């Protein structure tokens, strides 16, 4: 049976553009009708087009990707999908931006398989480490900004001028918090937060 060349494209959100990946796959060339595309997060593998592609993939077929991170978002996912495609499906993989991961030529003997698997593990590890470093830098940046007094989230609602007087009535048990909030045109939670100085 003649092998088929498939392509897979994933963009993380509906806003991201898939043009770069599509151009690379067409130039390979992969026929347009054999390109599967998901426009959603790579957080998990509940991706309809990816699942459809996996059902079609047969031994000897070729799967072309622009980059290895299209297979998953972390080290374990990428390695697991690589194993399914190459070992279970017995299909070949071509990663366009990493010629060492073209197993059509390198993956047929033991050395080629070893080299491809080794390169993949290194790349997956590097990608995962970079993501973790980025997350760490973001957390450190947020913590530093908070120390400088930068506030995150929605801007605080301005406190009405009548608040001190209404709060005093509430403290003297002349009104309950629900009435105080209604008088000020705010929620009961907001009133209680302000009243307790938060």
Specify whether 177 is catalytic: no
Q: With residue 36 as reference, give the H or E element that holds it.
A: strand 35-39
From the candidates 3, 12, 41, 187, give the one annotated as an active-site residue. 12
Concatenate the DSSP letters of all residues of 125-168 into one string. Answer: HHHHHHHHHHHHHHHHHHHHHHHTT---SSPPPPPPTTHHHHHH
Q: Which residues, other chains included, contact 107 with Cβ-Cβ below 8 Å and sequence gap of 6+?
A: 86, 92, 113, 116
CA-to-CA distance for 66 and 35, rounded, in angstroms? 12
In whole angstroms, what separates CA 52 from the centre of its chain?
21
Annotated catalytic sites, by residue?
12
């Amino acid at each position: 049976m003649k092998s088929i060349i498939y392509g897979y494209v994933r963009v993380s959100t509906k806003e991201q553009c898939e043009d770069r990946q599509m151009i690379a796959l067409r130039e390979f060339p992969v026929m347009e009708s054999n390109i599967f595309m998901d426009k959603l997060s790579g957080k998990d593998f509940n991706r309809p087009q990816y699942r459809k592609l996996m059902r079609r993939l047969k031994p000897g077929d070729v799967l072309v990707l622009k980059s290895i991170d299209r297979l998953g978002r972390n080290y374990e996912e990428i390695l697991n999908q690589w194993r399914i495609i190459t070992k279970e499906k017995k299909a070949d993989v071509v990663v366009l931006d990493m010629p060492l991961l073209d197993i059509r030529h390198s993956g047929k003997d033991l050395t080629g398989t070893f080299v491809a698997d080794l390169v993949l593990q290194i790349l997956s590890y590097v990608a995962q480490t970079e993501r973790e470093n980025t997350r760490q830098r973001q957390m450190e940046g947020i913590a530093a900004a908070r120390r400088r007094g930068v506030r995150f989230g929605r801007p605080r609602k301005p406190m009405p001028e009548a608040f001190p007087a209404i709060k005093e009535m509430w403290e003297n048990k002349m009104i309950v918090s629900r009435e105080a909030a209604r008088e000020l045109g705010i929620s009961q939670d907001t009133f209680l937060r302000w009243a307790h100085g938060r």
